[in-house]
Amino acid sequence: MMPLHLYDTKSREVLEVKETNGLVKMYCCGPTVYRDAHVGNMRTFLLSDLIRRTLLMFGYRVSIVQNITDVGHMSEDYEGEDKLLAQSKTEHIDPLAVAKKYEERFHSDLRQLNIIPADKYPKASESIGLMQDLITQLIARGNAYVGSDNSVYFDASSFPGYGQLSGNRLDSLKPGHRYEYHDDGAKKFHADWALWKAAGDRTELIWDSPWGPGFPGWHIECSAMSLHFLDGHVNVHVGGIDLRFPHHEDERAQSDSVTGNETVDLWVHGEHLLFQGRKMSKSAGNVVLIQDIAERGFDPLALRLVYLENRYRSQMDLTWETISAANETLLKWRTLVSKFSSATPLQNEEIWQALSVDLDTPKVIQIVRSIVKDPNLSDEMKAGYFLHADQVLGLDLARAEVPRELTAELKRLLDERDFVRENKNWKESDRLRGVLEEAGLIIQDSPTGQEWQWR
């Protein structure tokens, strides 16, 4: 077996991935299903897929658990309201119907990106008992206490290693600092956090508990699920860099206090995605979904290629131009490979080396590009290298391209442009040309009308 080394946020070192009883156990923080996941979220989900595919290629067995957060993740924008409840008011549907809708869309996005499904997708709302058991244990061990408001809090000072993961040491955390939404409640110390929140006047998404009706905190969810479904130990824990603190710092304190040892071997964090230079967010108005990529006529797997061209630990900027260029590359590679789709897969030692040292995917893509250009290799051999590498790249390189069809929306826009040209409305005609070109078409006007082709 080839070893895989990954950067561990806690030790700040590149360490070898370990297995437990012949299995690499991975936990990947999943989506909060109150909205569509954007392509930034997808970058993090693709990171766990990349780790898994690399481990499989290197000969390991892997098991992945990814949680679905459908309760307990409080919003910063709605006065600390549960994200699911806030969205249920906006959409005028039941909170669990909101969760179901976005969970289905999340799985559809994963399929479009060729992400191998996790072995288990536990839901927070179906794991309340697990969380309550863990909280009971934490209280019994003196790591948690019931506040005068009937909420249960973790006592941060009871865990000596608090702060080692994120570098936020307890004595430097200031009261009132917004590291946790304002849930001061009855906690004894500003750095403590709620494991169980008393219902107060909330009536939906609440459960009975030994401490009265209420709902779980967000951090306890990941401790409860990882400990239960991965049998008390996690070899690789994956999430976006924003989760390092407080989410993962708190998860580590909770889990380690119960297991009595270091529960997670490696904490792997993916850097954030920017879009056209700015952090992707609703307020910045630059949220891009997988669906938007498909609607512009691009293969969603072009996004996979763009992400592979960047190292997971670097912040990266996405633009429509990079997606378009990757889409072209993908088509060229498929044209080459699909002619020899039954070629014998050929292992490339350099690719394995590049992956082995903290997933140097930009180098892998560089090697792949040099294979394409190599005059000493036959096309069949090139296809063989591609087929082997595609186990990790996940780009569907053996897929024979079928001519792309126009979407109904693009057809409508072309018809509309025909119509406005007949009426000599050149301004509108130019505007529509812009929209069509943005969507990936090339438009040419001739005396007999407009002609189009894919870019």
- The residue ranges that bind ligand AMP (CB under 6 A) are 29, 31-32, 40-41, 43-44, 239-240, 242-243, 270, 272-273, 280
Rounded Cα gap, residues 21 and 303, in angstroms: 35
Q: How far is the CB of 112 from Zn ion (least distance, A)?
A: 24
Q: How far is the CB of 403 from ligand AMP (least distance, A)?
A: 34
Q: How far is the CB of 34 from ligand AMP (least distance, A)?
A: 8
Closer CB to ligand AMP, 17 or 47, in the complex: 47
What are the C-alpha distances in Å from 57 to residues 110, 352, 355, 389? Answer: 20, 9, 10, 9
Q: Which part of the chain contacts Zn ion (CB under 5 A), choosing from 143-151, 218-226, 258-266, 423-431?
A: 218-226
Alpha-carbon 56 to chain mean position: 20
Q: How far is the CB of 217 from ligand AMP (least distance, A)?
A: 14
Decide if residue 4 touches Zn ion (CB under 5 A): no
Tokens of residue 296, six digits: 């512009």
Closer CB to ligand AMP, 270 or 440, in the complex: 270
Closer CB to ligand AMP, 205 or 413, in the complex: 205
Closer CB to ligand AMP, 137 or 286, in the complex: 286
Rounded Cα gap, residues 347 and 379, in angstroms: 15
| 8 A C-beta contact, residue 242 and residue 272 | yes
Q: Which part of the chain contacts Zn ion (CB under 5 A), choosing from 104-112, 125-133, 222-230, 375-383?
A: 222-230
Residue 222 interaction partner, one of Zn ion, ligand AMP, none, beta carbon < 5-8 Å per kind: Zn ion
Closer CB to ligand AMP, 239 or 297, in the complex: 239
Decide if residue 222 touches Zn ion (CB under 5 A): yes
Rg (CA), the chain: 25
Rounded Cα gap, residues 282 and 31, in angstroms: 16
Give how many residues touch Zn ion by CB under 5 A: 2
* 236: helix, strand or coil: strand
Q: How far is the CB of 42 from ligand AMP (least distance, A)?
A: 8
H/E stretch holding 5: strand 5-8
Q: Which part of the chain contacts Zn ion (CB under 5 A), choosing from 36-44, 73-81, 122-130, 216-224?
A: 216-224
By C-alpha distance, which of 343, 287, 128 is closest to 217? 128
Q: Which of 6, 24, 29, 351 binds Zn ion (CB under 5 A)?
A: 29
Closer CB to ligand AMP, 225 or 273, in the complex: 273
Beginning with the edge strand found earlier in the chain, give each strand of the sheet holding 152-154 in spatial order.
144-146, 152-154, 193-198, 214-216
**Residue with the CB atom nearest ligand AMP in the bound state:** 240
193: β partners: 154
Provide the residue type at 188 as one letter: K
Q: How far is the CB of 43 from ligand AMP (least distance, A)?
A: 4
| 8 A C-beta contact, residue 298 and residue 410 | no
By C-alpha distance, which of 416, 412, 398, 406 is closest to 440? 406
- Burial grade of 336 (CB within 10 A; 0-12, 13-18, 19 or more): middle
Q: How far is the CB of 383 from ligand AMP (least distance, A)?
A: 33
3-state percent helix, strand, coil for the chain, nearest multiple of 5:
45, 15, 40
Q: How far is the CB of 218 from ligand AMP (least distance, A)?
A: 9
Residue 32 interaction partner, one of ligand AMP, Zn ion, none, beta carbon < 5-8 Å per kind: ligand AMP
Residues binding Zn ion (CB under 5 A): 29, 222
